[in-house]
Amino acid sequence: MSLSTDAPALTEPECTTVSNPRRTTLAGGIAGTALGTALDDLAARLDGGIVRPADQDWDAARAAWQLGVDQHPVAVVLAASEADVARTLRLATRLGVRVAPQSSGHGAVALGPLEGAILLRTSALSTVSVDAVARTATVGAGATWGDVADAAAPHGLAGLAGSSRTVGVVGYCLGGGLGWLGRLHGLGAGSILSARVALPGGAVVIASASEHADLWWALRGGGGAGVVTELTLRLVEVPDLTAGTLWWPRARAAEVLKAWARLIPVLPREITTVARVLTFPDIEELPPHLRGAQMVLVQAAVVGSAALADRLLAPLRGLEPVMDDIAPVSPDALGHLAMDPPDPSAGAAEGVVLATFGEAAVDAWLEALDGPACAGVVAADLRQLGGALSPESGHDAALTGLAGAVAAVAVAPVTPVADAAAAAQAVAAALAALAPWASAHQYANFVEQPADEETLVGTAHDRLDTIRLSYDPDGTVLRRHGG
């Protein structure tokens, strides 16, 4: 067993942990002078720094990726080392204060406003080391998938990343990790080979199949316990990759989505597809033909040749898309395929896993999107599941897969016309139309609202609770979803 109390290295990000209902005491109950003195002492010991409400850079330090989230912690620790994480946890344990780890700030909606908690920002800890022979990447808690892609691509390797280069690796993996290569290789959580974890009190342990195996199990899709400071991940070879998008006018959405729904059950696991209904903003940064355009798309990533992609996508190409940019690409191109915004923005998003998906669901989805209640929704995605994402294809982990056909996600921006409440209502209305087909279990990284943990990890819930009681009995580290 490896154990240290002030070791050098890195922390845990954003949106993938699960809340511990045992911890309800907030720092508001601590005398202000005592807390201020303790934070002064911590600041003197940190390699990084502390930002407090009176400081000029307070708003920047506490900002989430989703700009509509108004986080109000008692302080923000800007960790510059694993030792900073351990020091912060020691102080929090002594004072009975919660700690909210966060790197990129994605998924902060579900964490809530953070009153009484210390926000532990780890974005500076972004080191990535690739071992091309072992096909592994060791990443710090602040690393994003863009960092990993840039380091792995020159070796012909890729991580099991999601759709966005800006998402933090640790948070994504701890919540499951659903990406373009998942139907062939499984959830990102399954690629975790080992982790360094700082525990309440400041000790740092290594969790792997041979050390603290229970904690390693919990980290793989269940959020784990403590604060992850470093992950070692399995990378995969991608010798041939073909990816891109088929485009049609929005008026053909019913025809295209029904053809896609008929096709996805027979596709092999080498291909992952996403069907999207998009409204592009009318901004100068976009090409003229996309400014303000309403389109329906099918995006595909095929681990294989262009000839294989041609064969698999022939039924959709027979619908004569107005644009077709599917072509051989390098693995790092997958981080751009979804066209996710590269900068923080304000908006609402929510997701649901569908147990089944067919023509009736397409009709309900489009009817809702065309209605006035969903007027603010600009992106409505349907992400293909199955293959190695199925639970029966899983591994020894808290989350072994997602039981269902499709994961649906709706996004609505906050604008001068639609405020945050209106955006959230538009998203809720879109997903409500899919309720007849919804699974009993949902995917943590797509769920923004509070959710019972059992809906996220199923029967693993009780074992997870037992493990957390062992490693974090007081619930010091703030988890994402309530139990």
Q: Range with the lowest mean pLDDT among 78-82, 225-229, 416-420? A: 416-420
In this prediction, residues 61-89 reach a mean pLDDT of 86
Q: Nearest 5°: CA angle at 479, between 394 and 274?
A: 45
Instruction: State how far the Cα of 13 lies from the Cα of 171, in Å rounded to an integer.
Output: 5
Does the pLDDT of residue 331 top 80, yes or no? yes
pLDDT at residue number 12: 32
As beta bridge partners, residue 343 has none
Residue 72 tokens read as 């109000």
pLDDT at residue number 253: 97
Residue 349 tokens read as 């998003």
In this prediction, residues 221-234 reach a mean pLDDT of 94
Contact partners, residue 339, CB within 8 Å, separation at least 6: none
Contact partners, residue 38, CB within 8 Å, separation at least 6: 91, 94, 95
User: Is 280 strand, coil or helix?
Assistant: coil
Does the pLDDT of residue 277 top 90, yes or no? yes
Q: How many CA atoms lie within 13 A of 383 on its CB side?
A: 21
Does the pLDDT of residue 390 top 80, yes or no? yes
Helix (H) or strand (E) holding 39: helix 32-45
Contact partners, residue 368, CB within 8 Å, separation at least 6: 374, 429, 430, 432, 433
Q: Range with the lowest mean pLDDT among 1-10, 25-34, 375-384, 390-399? A: 1-10
Contact in structure between 340 and 349 (CB atoms under 8 Å): no
pLDDT at residue number 25: 40
As beta bridge partners, residue 324 has 246
Q: Nearest 5°: CA angle at 183, between 177 and 184?
A: 110
Does the pLDDT of residue 483 top 70, yes or no? no
In this prediction, residues 346-353 reach a mean pLDDT of 87
Q: Please, which pLDDT band fits residue 417 given cuts at 50, 70 and 90?
A: low
Beta pairing class for 242-249 and 323-324: antiparallel
How far CA 392 is from CA of 218, 381, 395, 396, 401, in Å, comes to 18, 25, 9, 11, 7
Q: Nearest 5°: CA angle at 386, between 381 and 391?
A: 120
Beta pairing class for 117-121 and 75-78: parallel
Q: Please, which pLDDT band fits residue 5 given cuts at 50, 70 and 90?
A: very low
Q: Please, which pLDDT band fits residue 273 given cuts at 50, 70 and 90?
A: very high
CA-closest candidate to residue 16, choices 402, 440, 481, 408: 481
Q: Range with the lowest mean pLDDT among 67-81, 126-140, 204-218, 232-246? A: 67-81
Torsion angles phi and psi, residue 95, rounded to 5? -90, -10
Q: Nearest 5°: CA angle at 443, between 278 and 135?
A: 95
Residue 284 tokens read as 């100068």
Q: How many CA atoms lie within 13 A of 357 on its CB side?
A: 29
Does the pLDDT of residue 303 top 70, yes or no? yes
As beta bridge partners, residue 277 has 296, 380
In this prediction, residues 466-471 reach a mean pLDDT of 94
Averaged pLDDT score across all residues of the chain: 87
Q: Nearest 5°: CA angle at 441, between 25 and 452?
A: 15
Q: Please, which pLDDT band fits residue 319 given cuts at 50, 70 and 90?
A: very high
Residue with tokens 């899709």: 221
pLDDT at residue number 29: 45
Does the pLDDT of residue 108 top 90, yes or no? no
Cβ neighbour number for residue 371 with a 10 Å cutoff? 13
pLDDT at residue number 1: 36
pLDDT at residue number 414: 82
DSSP-assigned letter for residue 106: T
Does the pLDDT of residue 31 top 60, yes or no? no
pLDDT at residue number 458: 84
CA-closest candidate to residue 479, choices 14, 87, 92: 14
pLDDT at residue number 438: 96
What ranges do the domains of the chain cover?
242-446
Does the pLDDT of residue 9 top 50, yes or no? no
SS3 content of the chain, % helix, strand, coil (to 5): 35, 25, 40
Q: Please, which pLDDT band fits residue 290 given cuts at 50, 70 and 90?
A: confident
Torsion, Cα 92 98 101 107, to 10 degrees, reads -170
DSSP-assigned letter for residue 426: H
Q: How many CA atoms lie within 13 A of 23 on its CB side?
A: 29
pLDDT at residue number 188: 96
Give residue-wise pLDDT tens across range 141-150.
Answer: 999 999 999 9
Does the pLDDT of residue 446 top 90, yes or no? no
Domain 242-446 coded CATH 3.20.20.105: no
Q: Please, which pLDDT band fits residue 347 given cuts at 50, 70 and 90?
A: confident
Looking at residue 118, its amino acid is: I
Give me the DSSP letters along 364-417.
HHHHHHHSGGGTT--EEEEEE--GGGSGGG--SSS-----SSEEEEEEEE--SS
- Between residues 370 and 18, the one the model is more confident about: 370
pLDDT at residue number 416: 65
Give residue-wise pLDDT tens across range 418-428.
Answer: 688 899 899 99
pLDDT at residue number 344: 63
Q: Range with the lowest mean pLDDT among 11-15, 206-210, 345-349, 418-422? A: 11-15
